[in-house]
Amino acid sequence: GTLSPNPAFLRNTLHTWLVKDVRQVASINNTSTEQTEVELVPVDEIERMLVSGEIDHALVVATLWRALHHLRQG
């Protein structure tokens, strides 16, 4: 999907993809100023995390609600 993070002030767009059945093929290669942590969360837990506010970044929330909707549609 595509989202406009703040169309009143900015012209940027956020593009997201839902990819199923993926696997890691290489280690994470960050620069010296980056830190990446991978946390695997069962899909069944995502809605609870969204509703509770545990996940609260607006763009991530919107993306995950779309992903859950897509997954439920089959």
β strands within the chain, DSSP E: 2-3, 14-15
Per-residue confidence band for 74, with pLDDT thresholds at 50, 70 and 90:
confident
pLDDT higher than threshold 90 for residue 44 = yes
pTM of the full structure: 0.81
The mean pLDDT of 40-65, rounded to a whole number, is 96
d(CA 40, CA 16): 18
d(CA 16, CA 14): 7
d(CA 62, CA 15): 12
